């Protein structure tokens, strides 16, 4: 139930964090 949708959200967050170095630094510890 909504499994594929969750994957899309995670991929989107990873993409945004890769584009923004500041977000990437904050995102890595939580991943």
Check residue 22 and give its pLDDT. 64
Cβ distance 18 to 26 under 8 Å?
no
User: What's the confidence (pLDDT) of residue 7?
Assistant: 75
The pLDDT value recorded for residue 11 is 73
Domain boundaries, the chain: 1-30
Q: What is the pLDDT of residue 23?
A: 57
pTM of the model: 0.30
Q: What is the dihedral of CA 9, 27, 30, 6, to 10 degrees?
A: 0
How does pLDDT run across 4-31, given as a tens digit for each residue? 777 777 777 767 666 666 655 555 555 4
């Amino acid at each position: 139930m909504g499994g594929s949708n969750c994957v899309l959200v995670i991929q989107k967050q990873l993409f945004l964090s890769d584009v923004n170095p500041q977000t990437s630094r904050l995102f890595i510890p939580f991943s």
